[in-house]
């Protein structure tokens, strides 16, 4: 509950001004709630209007994206880019193409990105963008025409030292390739304006794997430091079957765990023998087919059409890696009843506030998204460094840096939770640790 007068006033003003932006308000409330002890001790924040300025994006553009489908019909979608905060670096954050994209979704993602990017210790500001375009069922040519139309407007606002987009839901290597090609064509300029690029044109090794691998490096460190345990022999439940989920599963297996579920927006599969990742990758990355295919091909695996049933499968570790608000209080109760010890967020804001409260109250180690999934954007930061150097590092070099960053994020978040008198509450720890650097930069840079 917000008891600090200043935070409460700014939250109420934000809620009035953005009354329909429900996901954005959810993200702001969580951060404000965590910051109360810190804000109490730092009156200069109120004197400089830091919180008022932090909740209002530097700018947000929305634009028409008109494109022509394979049947010759004109289609119109809405595009967005939210440049939220550039106090510690150029705006940085992904693009999401999904029919559920709204202004509120882009703003919540952009707001969280500010603190996540700060936690990476790299010089990256916060931003996010996307469109309500649905890539499902579209031909490659349609995807290309959409990406070109999207970039025809977006190119006015971005640049390697201004704002550097990347992937998110519905935007992977294929889309980044088409977006990059169009930017280069329009500007006649070859720079690292996007990350997640193909290896042939400035991409970084390990960027594809980075979010999922980083999540597991975070979990590994959290388990070691807070419980004296490893991943060896643990049973893991994962939601999602996209970029984050696939590479989270891969690293979990490499570290000796067994992954027994994955899901997509239509349903989930349970494979008590452990997911066969080669089959899953083929279905999802090559065929772009439904996850139900997996159960048809792998003996012993079953398919269920209620995707939230993944949380009812007994496990030691649960990793929500699909989308926001996918893990509710009832799911948290089912996980706790089945003996879960760790929940770590690969997706952005996948757990509802009630679910988080329940998990923390029942002694579950909880790794919040801003900390636990920061490996993707951190490796994007490493891609930017390689582009500036006109040089490529090996997979091992990037992976080693990624691991160091994730271990540091855990310790910085843990230490901040201790400083706030809430040892082990990494929601508070990550929010405070991410905020301190951003607010110090805002204080130093003056009011604008």
Under the rule (CB under 6 A), what is the footprint of ligand 2IT? 92-94, 116, 166, 168, 195, 348, 376-377, 380
Residue showing tokens 């494979």: 271
Q: Which residues contact 59 (CB under 8 A, 6 or more apart)?
A: 83
Site string for ligand NDP, 405-434 (x = CB under 6 A): ------------------------------
Q: Return the residues of window 186-215 that contact ligand NDP according to CB under 6 A.
A: 211
Q: What tokens appear for 116 in the block?
A: 């996540």
- Give yes or no: 128 in active site: yes
Residue nearer to ligand NDP on the CB measure, 98 or 155: 98
Q: How far is the CB of 446 from ligand NDP (least distance, A)?
A: 32
- Which of 33/209 has CB closer to ligand NDP? 209
**From the list ligand NDP, ligand 2IT, none, partner contacted by residue 177 (C-beta under 5 to 8 A by kind):** none
Strand partners, 337: none
Residue 167 found at the interface with ligand NDP (CB under 6 A): yes
| 116 annotated as ligand-binding | yes
User: Under the criterion CB under 6 A, does residue 113 sit at the interface with ligand NDP?
Assistant: no
Catalytic, out of 128, 234, 284, 312: 128
Least distance from ligand NDP to the Cβ atom of residue 173, Å: 10
Enter the tokens of residue 332: 């948290």
Contact predicate 70/139, CB 8 Å: yes
Q: Residue 240 touches which of ligand 2IT, ligand NDP, none (CB < 5 to 8 A by kind)? A: ligand NDP
Classify 237 as helix, strand or coil: strand
Neighbours of 140 (CB within 10 A): 9
Assess 322 for contact with ligand NDP (CB under 6 A): yes
Tell me if residue 271 falls in helix, strand or coil.
coil
Q: Does 93 bind ligand NDP (CB under 6 A)?
A: no
As a whole number of angstroms, the distance between CA 148 and CA 135 comes to 14
- Whether 183 and 213 have beta carbons less than 8 Å apart is answered as no
* Residue 238 bridge partners (DSSP): 319
Question: Sheet containing 59-68: which strands, arranged edge to edge?
Answer: 59-68, 74-85, 126-131, 91-97, 163-166
Could you give phi then psi for residue 281, rounded to 5 degrees? -65, -40
Q: Answer yes or no: is 243 a known binding residue.
A: yes
Q: Which of 7, 31, 147, 244 binds ligand NDP (CB under 6 A)?
A: 244
Q: Any known ligand binding at 113?
A: yes
d(CA 58, CA 316): 42
243 interacts with, out of ligand 2IT, ligand NDP, none, CB within 5 to 8 A per kind: ligand NDP
Only segment of 23-31, 156-164, 169-177, 389-397 that touches ligand NDP (CB under 6 A): 169-177
The sign of the CA dihedral 265, 266, 269, 275 is negative
N-term to C-term CA, the chain: 30
Q: Is 403 annotated as a binding residue?
A: no
- Among 81, 92, 98, 138, which residue interacts with ligand NDP (rule: CB under 6 A)? 98
Angle (CA) 375 379 381, round 5°: 120
Binding-site residues from annotation for NAD(+) = 211, 243
* Chain positions contacting ligand NDP, by CB under 6 A: 98, 100, 167-170, 172, 211, 240-245, 264-266, 321-323, 346-348, 373, 376
Q: Which residues are catalytic?
A: 128
């Amino acid at each position: 509950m917000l008891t600090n007068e200043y935070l409460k006033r700014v939250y109420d003003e934000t809620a009035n001004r953005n009354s329909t932006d429900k996901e954005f308000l959810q993200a702001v409330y969580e951060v404000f709630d965590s910051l109360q002890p810190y804000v109490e001790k730092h009156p200069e924040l109120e004197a400089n209007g830091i919180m008022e300025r932090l909740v209002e994006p530097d700018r947000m553009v929305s634009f028409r994206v008109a494109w022509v489908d394979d049947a010759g019909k004109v289609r119109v979608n809405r595009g967005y880019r939210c440049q939220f905060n550039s106090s510690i670096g150029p705006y940085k954050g992904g693009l999401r193409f999904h029919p559920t994209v709204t202004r509120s979704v882009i703003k919540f993602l952009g707001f969280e990105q500010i603190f996540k990017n700060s936690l990476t210790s790299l010089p990256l500001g916060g931003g996010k963008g996307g469109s309500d375009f649905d890539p499902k069922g579209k031909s490659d040519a349609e995807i290309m025409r959409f990406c070109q139309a999207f970039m025809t407007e977006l190119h006015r606002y971005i640049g390697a030292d201004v704002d550097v987009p990347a992937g998110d839901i519905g935007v992977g290597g294929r889309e980044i390739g088409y977006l990059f090609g169009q930017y280069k064509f329009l500007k006649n300029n070859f720079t690292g304006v996007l990350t997640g690029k193909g290896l042939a044109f400035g991409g970084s090794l390990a960027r594809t794997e980075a979010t999922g691998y980083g999540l597991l490096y975070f979990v590994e460190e959290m388990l070691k430091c807070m419980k004296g345990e490893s991943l060896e022999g643990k049973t893991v439940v994962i939601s999602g079957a996209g970029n984050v989920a696939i590479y989270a599963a891969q690293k979990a297996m490499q570290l000796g765990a067994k992954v027994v579920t994955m899901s997509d927006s239509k349903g989930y599969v349970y494979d008590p023998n452990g997911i066969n990742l080669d089959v899953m990758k083929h279905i999802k990355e090559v065929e772009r087919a439904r996850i139900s295919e997996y159960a048809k091909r792998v003996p012993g695996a079953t398919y269920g059409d209620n995707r939230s049933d993944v949380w009812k499968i007994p496990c030691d570790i649960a990793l929500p890696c699909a989308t926001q608000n996918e893990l509710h209080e009832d799911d948290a109760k089912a996980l706790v009843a089945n003996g879960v010890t760790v929940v770590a967020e690969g997706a952005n804001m996948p757990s509802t506030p009630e679910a988080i409260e329940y998990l923390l109250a029942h002694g579950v180690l909880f790794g919040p998204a801003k900390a636990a999934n920061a490996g993707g954007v951190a490796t994007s930061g490493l891609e930017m460094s390689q582009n500036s150097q006109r040089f490529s590092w090996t997979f091992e070099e990037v992976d080693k840096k990624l691991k160091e960053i994730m271990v540091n994020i855990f310790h910085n978040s843990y230490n901040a939770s201790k400083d706030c008198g809430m040892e082990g509450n990494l929601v508070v720890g990550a929010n405070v640790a991410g905020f301190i650097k951003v607010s110090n930069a805002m204080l130093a840079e003056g009011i604008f």
